[in-house]
Structure 1
Amino acid sequence: MALQKTLSLLLLLLLTLLGLGLVQPSYGQGLMYQRFLRQHVDPHGVGGNDHYCNIMMQRRKMTSHHCKPVNTFIHENIWNIRSICSTNNIPCKNGKRNCHEGVMQVTDCRETGGSRAPNCRYRAMTSTRRVVIACEGDPEVPVHFDR
């Protein structure tokens, strides 16, 4: 009886964690989600200037071997970003239909050209605009910034 009660409580805890999105159902998707967070999410940043992009691109390890040409940082909390995954599916640039869109505050960082890794130089452009992200998993989480 005590064993059955313990198993029931463990199952309830697991279902609760899955429902809150704190446990990722797939190891591969979990890694893609973590990469998305590292490359694109900065909820506390305000962006807006070239110095921000230069620092963040280096800090987030996108200038180690080569200068990543373009990257977008989303300045919203992760729950707002994840809520995009619950909108209607739209086609991604690669033709898959697991993309979703929403409006977010962002900083686009574009490499200026002529700089070399690891000292890459970027131009910043901050705006509130439509973003498209690919989502996967159950529950769906963002795994790729499409546009």
Structure 2
Amino acid sequence: VTFNKISIFAGVLLISAAVIFVDGQSWSEFYNKHINAGMTDGQCTDVMRARRIRKPCTGGCKPFNTFITGNVDAVQAVCGEGGAPYGNGYVISYDYFKIVDCYLVHQNPPAVPPNCYYRGDESERRIIVRCENGEPVHFHGKGNIYCSYSA
């Protein structure tokens, strides 16, 4: 009886972890989290608040997020002729994109939404995305956060 309970628990845990591990299930979610044409590094706090971008699982302040500030059509094109296979289902863009990386400003006591403050850094780089149905659904970059559980 104990073995069956453990097996069921392990199965539920694995399924839950697999579902939670996927970040950005649709183009609209990807767009909300990672696209903002014309954004500047000084707008991180306002954009993160307005779009309600939070840390997965806990809903706390997300420590890091990247926005692509260029042409939306060019971002979508990465999933077609605008990119090359990168491995594990990802595609890397041929073109460089203007990027704003938003970093959580550490506060004491630690901030909780909506009182999260961010500083931004602007740069240009190639982007790496996972595509589904010809559209980006996951941004592969530094600081990705996934839920993790321990038994």
User: TM-score higher than 0.5 here?
Assistant: yes
CA RMSD of aligned residues (A): 1.9
TM-score relative to the length of structure 1: 0.67
Work out the CA distance in 2 between the residues paired with 1:31 and 1:85. 15
1:90 paired with 2:81, answer no
Corresponding residue number in structure 2 for 1:111: 104
Q: Which runs of 5 or more residues in structure 2 are unaligned?
A: 1-23, 142-151
Instruction: Give distance in 1, aligned partners of 2:62 and 2:79.
Output: 26
Does 2:17 correspond to 1:32? no
Shift of 1:76: 1.3
TM-score (norm 2): 0.65
Percent of aligned pairs with the same amino acid: 29
2:47 to 56, 73, 82: 56
Larger radius of gyration between Structure 1 and Structure 2: 1
> Deviation of residue 46 (structure 1)?
3.2
Q: 2:105 touches 2:118 (CA, 8 Å); kept in 1?
A: yes
Q: How many residues align?
A: 109
Residues 81-140 of structure 1: per-residue CA shift (max 9 Å, x gap): 01111221112xxxx223333410011001112222211011100111122111111xx1
- Unmatched runs of 5 consecutive residues or more in structure 1: 1-29
Contact kept, 8 Å, 1:63 with 1:120, in 2: the verdict is: no
Any residues of structure 2 matched to 1:125-140 within 5 Å, and which? 125-137=121-133, 140=134
